[in-house]
Amino acid sequence: MNKILELSNLKKYYATQKAVDDISFSIEKGSIFGLLGPNGAGKTTLLRMITGIFYPDSGDIRFDGKTFDPENDIIKIGYMPEERGLYKKMKIGEQALYLAQLKGLSKSEAMTKIKFWFKRLEMETWWNKKVEDLSKGMSQKLQFVTTVLHEPKLIILDEPFSGLDPVNANLIKDEIYGLAQRGSTIIFSTHRMEQVEEICDHIVLVNLGKKILDGTVANIKQQFKENKFAIQLGEVPASLTAPSFEITDQKAHRLTVKIRDGYRSNDVLQHLLQQNLTIEAFHEVLPSLNEIFINLVEGTRATSRAFQPVNP
């Protein structure tokens, strides 16, 4: 079994909305998985079910090949929720120790691991400081450490980079890669598509409580490509028309063309060569996840969903 998590037909209905409506997908061990969706799509509810905070109304969760048992499996999961915080009056060190012990580590074990991580992320001098003295970015770092400290098999990070400066964001990003390499699986939930594109292997997009997209980043891009190519020419003739393509955009020597149905990119190249034009660059333009996301979500009244009554 190479799946860390398998969800099948998960449902969770609230009085006023279907938060999660029949969602199924699975996550490979050791992968970095992106869970995407607009605000109020049901991501948080989904994550809360995966972390055992909520019970699904129906459906089945399998964790590491066995039926999910929140009681015992919870220590194998590290969850950094979007709404997160720490005890303000508590010292950093004590706080980390407390949270680690609640995850089932013994005191001495917890101490060793805290020291390791504090050293790694240059936080050693923070031990006796209070959380209220930390900046937002600093407490974010602490939050990350407390999430991964107990070496969970599954790490769930909801908007992990919010409030981090680029330097610290990179630091955390590297740690995420490192954790994945060492065998942890990471679920990464965010609105920032460029981060998803950069980090994730596999994504699922949910909207209105339903899964609308599931696949690897590369596959999805292939799936949604519009046969667009970017061309850079040495000189652009006054008029350039051919049955094989149409120009959708032009900026100085750069053209974006859409290949008409029934033609291939080679037809375009052949036409350009016949015209004896200097081709400086020619490459396919794949849609960004951002474009795909907006295309799929726009117009689905996703944002106003929270105020819609459920029609049974």
Residues that bind other proteins (CB under 8 A): 48, 51-53, 55, 74-75, 77, 79-81, 83-90, 98-99, 101-103, 143, 146
Least distance in Å: CB of 307 to other proteins? Answer: 12
User: 61 vs 259, which CB is nearer to other proteins?
Assistant: 61
Least distance in Å: CB of 253 to other proteins? Answer: 52
User: 51 vs 195, which CB is nearer to other proteins?
Assistant: 51
User: 90 vs 277, which CB is nearer to other proteins?
Assistant: 90
Least distance in Å: CB of 51 to other proteins? Answer: 5
- Residue environment code for 189-226, b if the CB has 16+ CB neighbours within 10 A, otherwise e: bbebbebbeebbbbbbbbbbbebebbeebeebbeebee
- 173 burial via Cβ count (<10 Å: 0-12, 13-18, 19+): middle
Least distance in Å: CB of 182 to other proteins? Answer: 21
User: 186 vs 268, which CB is nearer to other proteins?
Assistant: 186
- The strand pair at 3-13 and 18-28 is best described as antiparallel
How is residue 74 annotated by DSSP?
Answer: G
Backbone φ, ψ for residue 172 (5° rounding): -70, -40
- Residues with Cβ within 8 Å of 239's Cβ and at least 6 positions away in sequence, in order, are none
Least distance in Å: CB of 209 to other proteins? Answer: 18
What are the percentages of helix, strand and coil residues in the chain, rounded to 5? 35, 30, 35
Residue with tokens 């061309």: 231
User: 74 vs 259, which CB is nearer to other proteins?
Assistant: 74
Least distance in Å: CB of 262 to other proteins? Answer: 53
User: 10 vs 289, which CB is nearer to other proteins?
Assistant: 10
How is residue 130 annotated by DSSP?
Answer: B
Dist CA 245 CA 228 (whole Å): 9
